[in-house]
Structure 1
Amino acid sequence: MDAPIDLRPVFRAHWPSYGPDWDRAIELGIDVAELERNLALTPEQRILQKHRTQQAIALLRAGLNRARHA
């Protein structure tokens, strides 16, 4: 299995430092691009995103249950 790609240099190059917590998040491997994308959403968009994710999980669980009982 290949090692995961280290995106920390990319994050440091493309996003300014917002302080020590932000820098620490990058060091811990947190995807700050995804963080910024989610922070740009309105509360309504976040709720819709959560709803879509919950629907996808429900479909996956249903498929797993069908596969187990087939």
Structure 2
Amino acid sequence: MWQEPNGCNFFSWYDKEDGTLWQKRALLEARDEIREQSLVIEQLKETIAELRSNLEKKENEDEIVRKFEEFFV
């Protein structure tokens, strides 16, 4: 019976075995893909924030032009 060295020793694994090379590679590839996707998500969030800011500025500019036209045109 195998027990986790730093575990609570409440559960024990009877079929504990080392992972195979392909399992380790698959986990490493999945980890790398998750990291890459997280970076892309962060970049997209920054782009969205910048576009929203630009849109708000554009809306404010349009409103200023409209008010100017109301008063002077």
Q: TM-score, normalised by structure 2?
A: 0.42
Structure with bigger RCO (C-alpha 8 Å, 6+ apart):
1
TM-score, length basis structure 1: 0.43
